[in-house]
């Protein structure tokens, strides 16, 4: 009996040690699960961080940032090479206009007039693709992906919206909405950088 208990105890200790040793970075944010890894354009990406966007104490959306390798600064993320994904899940009903206007406002806040003018035509294309959604009901999964050689792709659920927008500078500009000097939400910025 003692030997059987000792054997089970050793197995339990071993299992616990293995669980502790495994690097796990999956996250649950306000009931939304973000896997620790995903694949974009044939590249495996890791969850860099995930957090919650709030406004006036209301939960707006949960967001995860996937990168080829983890980074803890906006500069390192902007300079990283390869596919990337911003994954957003809405936590309340939003109109497409509310969502699009908030993103455009975030772009304008984090770029000078001269910088934004270079993005204007592509921002208009992006906004029109968002407006084609009409609404983003609670639970909508929105993905913004950088696909090297193709551009920034907007998907809602599993459906691609609009055409891919060329230029990695545009995807970097989108990242600045959340990681720039005037982020949409400072707590969310910290969470996406893995600092929360």
- Tens digit of pLDDT for each residue in 101-157? 999 999 999 999 999 999 999 999 999 999 998 888 999 999 999 999 999 999 999
| Contacts (Cβ under 8 Å, ≥6 apart) of 37 | 44, 45, 46, 47
Q: Give domain status of residue 14, yes or no.
A: no
Q: Cα separation of 63 and 61, whole Å?
A: 6
Helix, strand, or coil (residue 167): coil
Q: Give domain status of residue 122, yes or no.
A: yes
Q: What's the whole-number average pLDDT of the chain?
A: 87
Q: Give domain status of residue 4, yes or no.
A: no
Does residue 24 register a pLDDT over 90?
no
Q: Give domain status of residue 9, yes or no.
A: no
Radius of gyration for the alpha carbons in the chain, expressed in angstroms and rounded: 20
Does residue 93 register a pLDDT over 60?
yes
Q: Give domain status of residue 104, yes or no.
A: yes
Does residue 72 register a pLDDT over 50?
yes
Cβ proximity of 65 and 71 under 8 Å? no
Q: Give domain status of residue 150, yes or no.
A: yes
CATH number for the domain spanning 110: value is 3.50.70.10
Residue 162: CB atoms within 10 A of its CB come to 17
pLDDT at 136: 86
What tens digit of pLDDT does each residue of 150-182 get?
Answer: 999 999 998 999 999 999 999 999 999 999 999
What pTM did the predictor assign?
Answer: 0.84
**Bridge partners (DSSP) listed for residue 160:** 155
Q: Give domain status of residue 128, yes or no.
A: yes
Q: What DSSP state is assigned to residue 77?
A: H
pLDDT at 177: 97
Q: Give the range of the structural domain holding residue 95, as residue numbers without chain letter.
A: 25-192
Report in angstroms the alpha-carbon separations of 44 from 40, 83, 106, 172.
Answer: 7, 9, 28, 19
Q: Give domain status of residue 7, yes or no.
A: no
User: How many domains does one find in the chain?
Assistant: 1
């Amino acid at each position: 009996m003692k030997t059987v208990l000792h054997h089970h105890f050793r197995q339990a200790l071993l299992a616990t040690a293995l669980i502790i040793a495994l690097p796990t970075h999956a996250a649950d944010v306000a009931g939304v699960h973000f896997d620790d890894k995903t694949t974009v354009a044939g590249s495996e990406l890791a969850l860099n961080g995930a957090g919650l966007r709030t406004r006036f104490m209301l939960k707006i959306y949960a967001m995860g940032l996937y990168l080829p390798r983890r980074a803890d600064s906006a500069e390192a993320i902007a300079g990283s090479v390869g596919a990337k994904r911003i994954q957003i899940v809405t936590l309340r009903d939003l109109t497409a206009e509310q969502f699009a206007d908030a993103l455009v406002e975030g772009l304008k806040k984090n770029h000078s007039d001269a910088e934004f003018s270079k993005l204007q035509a592509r921002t208009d294309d992006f906004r029109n693709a968002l407006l084609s959604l009409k609404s983003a009901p609670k639970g909508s999964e929105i993905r913004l992906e950088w696909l090297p050689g193709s551009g920034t792709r907007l998907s809602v659920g599993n459906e691609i919206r609009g055409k891919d927008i060329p230029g990695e500078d545009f995807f970097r500009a989108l990242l600045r909405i959340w990681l720039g000097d005037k982020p949409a939400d400072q707590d969310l910025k910290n969470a996406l950088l893995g600092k929360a």
